[in-house]
Structure 1
Amino acid sequence: MPKTSPKAERLSYFKMRYPDDAILEYVVWKLPQPTADRPHGYKYRYYYGKDGKRLVGYDNESGKGDHKHIGDAEYPYTFVSLEQLTKDFLTDVVAHRNQGGIW
């Protein structure tokens, strides 16, 4: 019988819609083992957007490592912890909403 590799375990998922129809959503998986581009052992995707357009995003897609998106720009992100990741993401979302969505 072939040996199957362990799969990532979903740790958290959250989704909400603001009254203006903007969406905030995130999902975090615990990987079976750390990888070169995910040394902390987590895969994640944090999204805030409206009308199908990402306005703020944090993710670590394979080959790119940890980074964030603010509008159309992409910046490196230094992962410290899941708690700090969520805090940083929400801080950027609040800043975007407080500025009237103009970045």
Structure 2
Amino acid sequence: MTEAGSEYTLEYLLAFDGREHHYPDGYFVKFEIKRIDPTPERPHGLRYSFTLHGPEGTRLIGFDNAHPVAPVGGRYKKKPETADHWHRTESDLGRPYRFVSAEQLVDDFFDEVERVLTHHGIELVVIATTERKTS
């Protein structure tokens, strides 16, 4: 993707901040994304949280960079420098995620949304969209 195309994708994604997409039977996804000054933990200059929730509001999966997580495979592995990670299940404490681009983040998130919704027998169709204020 060209740099201009990548910037367009990022701007498009930033416009999703505060948006919720609702699926049948009460499942929904929430998007929180802000541009920030780059830091060692967030070198791409984004603070984000994309989550899929069940009907009771329980987070089923999530991609975020709110905090660093331990590497998978043991305490002797080097801790990731970035805070990017994802939660594959509702009880998963998080596993490192390699942020490549905003476009890849969205693709990876929706691949997991599709996996979980399909597992629960939920149709992959957005039935409503809402906006809410984020900080």
TM (norm. structure 1) is 0.80
**Deviations 1:73-97 (CA, angstroms, capped at 9, x unpaired):** 1211000011110110000010111
* Structure 1 match to 2:27: 22
**Deviations 1:48-69 (CA, angstroms, capped at 9, x unpaired):** 01112110100001x4100001
* Bigger RCO of structures 1 and 2 (CA < 8 A, at least 6 apart): 2
Shift of 1:19: 1.6
Cα distance in 1 for partners of 2:33, 2:117 equals 23
Shift of 1:100: 1.9
2:59 corresponds to 1:39:
no
Structure that is richer in helix per residue: 2
* Structure 1 match to 2:119: 99
Cα distance in 2 for partners of 1:55, 1:70 equals 8
Shift of 1:70: 1.4
Q: How many residues align?
A: 90
The within-5 A match list for 1:42-81 is 42-50=46-54, 51-61=56-66, 63-64=67-68, 65-71=83-89, 72-73=91-92, 74-81=94-101
Contiguous gaps of at least 5 residues in structure 2: 1-12, 69-82, 122-135
Cα distance in 2 for partners of 1:46, 1:18 equals 15
Contiguous gaps of at least 5 residues in structure 1: 1-9
Shift of 1:43: 0.5
Counterpart secondary structure, 2:47: strand
Q: Give percent identity, aligned residues only.
A: 36
Cα distance in 2 for partners of 1:98, 1:22 equals 12
What root-mean-square deviation, in Å, do the aligned CA atoms of Structure 1 and Structure 2 show? 1.6
TM (norm. structure 2) is 0.62
